[in-house]
Chains A and B, each alone.
Chain A
C-alpha cells in the first residue's frame, strides 16, 4: 500500500507573526518558514505505518511556490520516499483556499492511487481545518479526522479521535483520509544520513493545469489587521470599587 501525505510550508510556529504595513497579509519576507507542525505529525505517522509494515511507500505532496520544495526536502529527510510539488505562486489577494487545495490533492490521489491519505488537521497559518474533510468528500472516501491513534489492518484503519468528553473509535474502509491531531505522535528529527539520502530522492514538479484543476477562487481578501491590543489592567483599592466597576463599567452584575 502507498500512503500520500500532504504537507504545507507556513510561517514557523515560534515566529511572532506581523501584519504587513499595507494590510494585504502577514509579513513573510525574511521570516523563518517551516513545515506546518500538524503536517510533521502526518509525515511521522505515515513513516511509522511504513516501518510497521502496513505500507510500502510514503509520498509527500505540497502545493506552493518554488521555496515549498524545502518543506518537501524536510519530509524526504524525515524518511518519505518521494515527493510531488504542485507549483503555485501565491497571490495575497487571492489565496489558495482549502477547496482548491483539496481539488489538487484529489487529482494527485487519483494518479497515485494511495490506500491512505494523511493530512494535518489544519495549517497554523489560516487555521481552516477543511482540506482533509473536503478531500474525503471529493474522493468519496471515508474520513477519520483529529486522529490521536491510528491502527492499520489489511482492509481497514481504526482511528481514535479526540472529541468532546472522550475518545471516539471509528473504523474506516480503505482507501481513506485521516487528519492528525497534536497527540498522535512525536515527529522525529532529520538525521544526517537521512538528509544525505533525501538529496537523491525525486521531487516531481507539476502544475494545477497539468492536473486539470481549476484553482480560481471566489473569495478575495479585503484586509488583514492585527487584533486590538489588550488594554492595561487596573489595580482597585476596595471590593466596593470592584463591584461598582463590574456593575457600571463591565455591566456583568
Chain B
C-alpha cells in the first residue's frame, strides 16, 4: 500500500500513543497491540433514563478539529478481557450537565450522537468496550480547565483521549530554531509535527507506527517509546516543559523551554507516563534533535542468542555515536512475516538462521558512516557473531528490511488469536522466557520473540488459532511472575491501562504503589480522572 494512502487510512483510526514497535504506516499493525491503556474513558453514573441505550457501537468521525476528546460514560465496562464494577461514588450525567457543557463549548463541541460517541468507546482490538454517552471536544486550555473544574465539583468521571479526531486545525506549533525546541498544543498529530520540524532541519525525538493519528499529548501521557529510543532516550529526557490541567481545573504552567532547571521538584515528570490519571496535558515543549542526512541499514543473521548479545555490545562500542536502532527477531517471526506479508521476501534466503538482527545507523557523513558500518560488520562476521548479512544499498532496500521488522505485528494477527506482552528484561535473560514459554505452550500455540534489543525490550507474542482459557492459563500469571523474578518490567513501553492496572505489584514495591496512590489522591481527590486504570482499585 502506498505510504500516503496508508497514512490517510490511519487518520481514521484511533489514537495509539502507547504502541511503539511499528515504524511504517501499516494500519493493520495496530490491530495486534493492546490499546486499552491509550484510551481514557469517563466512567459515569448508573444508566440514566434520558440515555437509554447500552453499549455503543463505534463509527468514525474525522471532521472534528478539537485538540482532545472527553468522554462521559454511564455504565460499567463490558469487555472480553475484564469486568469492572462501576464505582457508585461517581455521579450520573443529567441534562443540566449537558447544557452546561454546551454553554462552554457550544453545540458543536458537545457530541451526543450515538454513532459518533461510539467511535471513542472501543479500543482498536475490540477487546475493551466503554459505554460513554457524551463526548466533549474542547479547543483550548481554558475550556479543558472549565470542564474539569465542573466535573470535579459534580464528581463526574473523565477520560482524556487524544488521537481519534485526526485533523487539528487550531494547533499551531511554535519553533525555536536556534535551540531546536518545539512548543505546541497537545492535540498536534505526531506526524504533522514531524514534517513541521523536518522542514526546519530537525526531527522529533520519537517515532512510532501510530504517528499518523496519535497526538503528542497522548504520547507524553503514556510516555511512548518507539524506534528512536535507543538513540534519543525517553520522553522524560526530551520533554522540557508541560502545561497541565489538574482534576479541579487548575492550570499548571510548567511550560518552560530550558534545558536545565533545578528549582524544586520537577513536577512535569509526574505527568509523563501517568496515562492521564493525574492531569490533562494541554501544551508541550519538546527538544528536537537535528536531522542527520545519512542513514544505513543492515539486516543480519546470527546462529544463537549469545551472538546477538555480543553483537549488541560490539555495536555499542564500534558504532556508538551513529547507532540508531538495534532490533532483533527470531526465526519464527521471519517465517511468519514471509508467509503473511505481501511482497516481502527474505534478504537471506540461503539457509534458515535462528536469529535475525536489524541495525540502523544515522549520522552526518554518508561515506564515513557506511565505511564504519561495513568495517564493523565484516569484523563481526570474522569473529563469528554474524552468520550472514546484507547492507541496504538504497532507501528502497532499507525500507524492505524495516518492513520485515515492522510487519511482524501485522503478520501475527493473521493467524487468529495473539497474546501480546511487552516486557523489559535484562538483555542476557531476555530470550529465556521465549524458550520457557515455548515449552509451556507446546502444540497449542506458536511463540514469537522480537523487539528492541538495544533497549532490553522484548515483545513476546503467543499465537494461536483462537483465544482459549487453556492457553491463557499457561501464559498468565507465569509471564508476570517470571518477569518479576528477573526484576524486569511487565510493561516496557505500552503502559498499564486497564489490562495491567492490577498487575503493577509485579514490577513495583508496595511502598512505591502506596506513594503513587497518595499522589493520585492529592492531585485528584475525587478520582475523576481516568478511573480504574494505572493503579489497583485496592489502594485508592
CB within 8 Å for A32 and B294 given contacts A12-B395, A15-B395, A192-B381: yes
Q: How far is the CA of A67 from the CA of B371 in the complex (A)?
A: 13
Q: Is the CB of A192 within 8 A of B395?
A: no
Q: How far is the CA of A180 from the CA of B474 in the complex (A)?
A: 55
B348, B374, B393, B399 — most chain A CB neighbours (10 Å): B393
* One of B367, B377, B386, B390 near A189 (C-beta < 8 A): B390
Q: Is the CB of B394 within 8 A of A34?
A: yes
Interface assignment of B397: CB less than 8 Å from any CB of chain A? yes
Chain A window 26-66, contacts with chain B (Cβ cutoff 8 Å), 1 for yes, 0 for no: 00001111110100100000000000000000000000000
Q: Is the CB of A189 within 8 A of B394?
A: no
Residues in chain B near residue A40, CB distance under 8 A: 393-394
Residue of B whose beta carbon sits closest to that of A69:
B367
Residue of B whose beta carbon sits closest to that of A77:
B393
Interface assignment of B173: CB less than 8 Å from any CB of chain A? no
Q: Is the CB of A192 within 8 A of B394?
A: no
Interface assignment of A191: CB less than 8 Å from any CB of chain B? yes
Q: Is the CB of B399 within 8 A of A195?
A: no
Q: Is the CB of A14 within 8 A of B293?
A: no
Interface assignment of A96: CB less than 8 Å from any CB of chain B? no
B window 351-408: CB within 8 A of A: 366-367, 370, 374, 377-378, 381, 386, 388-397, 399
Residues in chain A near residue B348, CB distance under 8 A: 191
Q: List 12 A-B contacts (CB under 8 A).
A: A14-B394, A32-B294, A32-B395, A40-B393, A40-B394, A70-B367, A186-B345, A189-B390, A189-B393, A191-B388, A192-B390, A193-B381
Least Cβ distance of A76 to chain B in Å? 11
Interface assignment of B536: CB less than 8 Å from any CB of chain A? no
Q: How far is the CA of A96 from the CA of B144 in the complex (A)?
A: 62
Q: How far is the CA of A77 from the CA of B366 in the complex (A)?
A: 17
Q: How far is the CA of A12 from the CA of B386 in the complex (A)?
A: 28
CB within 8 Å for A196 and B378 given contacts A30-B293, A189-B347, A190-B390: yes
Least Cβ distance of B196 to chain A in Å? 16
* One of A13, A15, A35, A191 near B389 (C-beta < 8 A): A191
Q: How far is the CA of A186 from the CA of B391 in the complex (A)?
A: 16
Chain A residues within CB distance 8 Å of chain B: 12-15, 30-35, 37, 40, 67, 70, 74, 77-78, 186, 189-193, 195-196
Q: How far is the CA of A74 from the CA of B366 in the complex (A)?
A: 14
Number of residues in B with C-beta < 8 Å to the partner? 27
CB within 8 Å for A34 and B377 given contacts A14-B399, A70-B367: no
Least Cβ distance of B378 to chain A in Å? 5
B window 242-273: CB within 8 A of A: none
Residues in chain B near residue A33, CB distance under 8 A: 366
CB within 8 Å for A192 and B388 given contacts A12-B394, A32-B293, A77-B393: yes
Chain B window 296-322, contacts with chain A (Cβ cutoff 8 Å), 1 for yes, 0 for no: 000110000000000000000000000
Residue of B whose beta carbon sits closest to that of A198:
B374
Q: How far is the CA of A196 from the CA of B374 in the complex (A)?
A: 9
Q: Is the CB of A190 within 8 A of B395?
A: no
Chain B window 221-258, contacts with chain A (Cβ cutoff 8 Å), 1 for yes, 0 for no: 00000000000000000000000000000000000000
Chain B residues within CB distance 8 Å of chain A: 293-295, 299-300, 345, 347-348, 366-367, 370, 374, 377-378, 381, 386, 388-397, 399
Secondary structure at the A interface, as helix, strand, loop or mixed, is mixed
Least Cβ distance of A34 to chain B in Å? 3
Least Cβ distance of A118 to chain B in Å? 18
Residues in chain B near residue A15, CB distance under 8 A: 395
Residue of B whose beta carbon sits closest to that of A14:
B395
Q: Is the CB of A31 within 8 A of B293?
A: yes
9 smallest A-B Cβ distances: which pairs?
Answer: A34-B394, A14-B395, A189-B390, A30-B293, A192-B389, A74-B393, A12-B395, A189-B347, A191-B390
Q: How far is the CA of A78 from the CA of B395 in the complex (A)?
A: 16
Residues in chain A near residue B391, CB distance under 8 A: 77, 189-190, 192, 195
Residues in chain A near residue B300, CB distance under 8 A: 192
Least Cβ distance of A12 to chain B in Å? 5
Least Cβ distance of A233 to chain B in Å? 15
Q: Is the CB of B347 within 8 A of A193?
A: no
Q: Is the CB of B396 within 8 A of A32?
A: no
Q: How far is the CA of A34 from the CA of B381 in the complex (A)?
A: 25
B294, B347, B374, B381 — most chain A CB neighbours (10 Å): B374
Residues in chain B near residue A196, CB distance under 8 A: 378, 381
Least Cβ distance of A226 to chain B in Å? 15
Least Cβ distance of A142 to chain B in Å? 31
CB within 8 Å for A192 and B393 given contacts A32-B366, A70-B367: no
Q: How far is the CA of A78 from the CA of B389 in the complex (A)?
A: 13
Q: How far is the CA of A196 from the CA of B378 in the complex (A)?
A: 7
Residues in chain A near residue B381, CB distance under 8 A: 192-193, 196
Least Cβ distance of A229 to chain B in Å? 15
CB within 8 Å for A189 and B397 given contacts A70-B367, A195-B391, A196-B378: yes
Residues in chain B near residue A35, CB distance under 8 A: 393-394
Least Cβ distance of B50 to chain A in Å? 36
Q: How far is the CA of A247 from the CA of B366 in the complex (A)?
A: 54
* One of B388, B395, B399 near A34 (C-beta < 8 A): B395
CB within 8 Å for A192 and B397 given contacts A30-B293, A32-B293: no
Q: Is the CB of A13 within 8 A of B390?
A: no
Residues in chain A near residue B388, CB distance under 8 A: 191-193
Residues in chain B near residue A190, CB distance under 8 A: 390-391, 393
Q: How far is the CA of A77 from the CA of B347 in the complex (A)?
A: 15
Q: Is the CB of B386 within 8 A of A192?
A: yes
Residues in chain B near residue A192, CB distance under 8 A: 300, 377-378, 381, 386, 388-391
Question: A13-B396, A14-B399 provided; 14 other pairs, C-beta below 8 A?
Answer: A12-B395, A13-B394, A31-B293, A32-B295, A32-B395, A37-B394, A70-B370, A78-B393, A186-B345, A189-B299, A189-B397, A191-B389, A192-B377, A192-B389
